[in-house]
Amino acid sequence: MTHTRTLALLLALATPMTAGAEVIGTTVPLQGLTAADIATALPAGPEREVWLAWLARSEAAMARDKAVLTQERDALAAAGQSVPAPPPEGNSSATMPLDRDAEWYGGAEARSVADNIVSFQTPAGGWGKNQDRTGAPRAPGQGYTPSIGKDSRYAAQDGAGGWNFVGTLDNDATIRELAFLARVQEQLPGATGDAYRQSFERGVRYMLAAEMPGGGWPQVWPLQGLYHDALTLNDNMLVGTAELLQQVGSGSAPYAFVSADLRAEAAAAAVRAVDVLLELQVEVDGQPTIWAQQYDPLTRRPVPARNYEMIALSTGESAPVLAFLMRQDRSDPRIARAVDAGARWYADHAISDRAWRRVSESGGRQLVPEAAAAPLWARFYSIETGQPIFGDRDLTIHDDVNAISLERRNGYGWFNSSGAKVARDHAAWAAGQ
């Protein structure tokens, strides 16, 4: 089954440039998933119909989200009142701690955060990202996220301005809100905790509704378009979602309150997520390597995201995937093969005697020789060559990080130490066999 969008992207990446040139390829931006894409990729039949129905549910969910906000704002206008300012941005995870003593979650501070969470849940059931949850609850007409009414890039899509990440699993959004609500409700049996339990169940059903046919999730749902519609691993999104659903499915504390039917649905979605991860491990010449950041939802082939995030193997995303797989049923031979191959790939692709650091104000961050430096791994490696590659905002792809713009060199994590943790985790995992 050939998907024309993905084929074009791969051809663009593989197109050779002049030998020795600074630019080795160009990324073609990904467009959003459409009914035409589904019809092109899938023959007429049940699978195509399932995908078309999923896409239609996404469109209907976004229409409902927008309609509710529009109704609230129309009511404000009729009463001569102005639209409230967007909610404050912030580090969502920091304002929803999950490591406090159990009793803290029944107190006033945690209740205040939980009330904020419940109030900002979208009609579809999810939450936005990068929001300070210690703020006031949502007022009628206020945007569901800090971007609504603020980010003009998306103004044409919604008529309200900034319809951006309105319901997402990116940056731990929705996942973190659900984990926090579960801890609060556990301390509040009876009617005082009902609102939190109801919000939690709506959030889990949001996850299940957003799940793609066959497993996996887009970065944003209802679908927003562009690369946000891709099947996403970026920022630990698929792993984080799968872990929460596993916990819900287990029925263990603090998730024991979830109904048996919903626990079963959550557990089944988590199983599909593991299967998807095993399917998505990129093979080169028949050998498993690691994972890409995102994939075409229909062909399951790697695709790009932002302009400087080209089709590539991604170490930052693959290390958490391997750690997650090591926590799964080790008797499954598929898991053993995936884990061993991934660890071997990291061992084979370490960068030695190099440091990634700022050399000067004008020179910015550069990869420089440094004897006995700790091993590094590039964020991205070419699937075709196995060598590090680097992208820039102008969609160009480079094989030398020092050749990209100063702004991108300073503003992105092109190198990491993820392989060191993979090696430690794999040694402990192997010793437990």
Residues designated catalytic? 171, 306
The Cα–Cα gap between 264 and 344 comes to: 35
| Residue where the block lists tokens 């300073």 | 410
Task: Tell which residue, 412, 352, 400, has the closest CA to residue 376.
Answer: 352
| Angle between helical axes of 418-431 and 333-348 (0-180°, round to 10) | 140
The Cα–Cα gap between 400 and 76 comes to: 55
- Beta-strand relationship, 294-295 and 231-232: antiparallel
Residue type, 199: S
- The full 3-state SS of the chain, as one line of letters, equals CCCHHHHHHHHHHHCCCCCCCCEEEECCCCCCCCHHHHHHHCCCCHHHHHHHHHHHHHHHHHHHHHHHHHHHHHHHHHCCCCCCCCCCECCHHHHCCCCCCHHHHHCHHHHHHHHHHHHCCCCCCCCCCCECCCCCCCCCCCCCCCCCCCCHHHHHHHCCCCCCCCCECHHHCCHHHHHHHHHHHHCCCCHHHHHHHHHHHHHHHHHHHHCCCCCCCECECCCCCHHHHCEECHHHHHHHHHHHHHHHHHCCCCCCCCCHHHHHHHHHHHHHHHHHHHHHCCEECCEECCCCCEECCCCCCECCCCCCCCCCEEHHHHHHHHHHHHCCCCCCHHHHHHHHHHHHHHHHCCECCEEEEEEECCCEEEEEECCCCCCEEECEECCCCCCECEECCCCEEECCHHHCCHHHHHCCCCEECHHHHHHHHHHHHHHCC
Contacts of 168 (CB under 8 A, 6+ apart): 126, 127, 128, 129, 174, 219, 220, 221
Q: Are 295 and 381 in contact (CB under 8 A)?
A: no
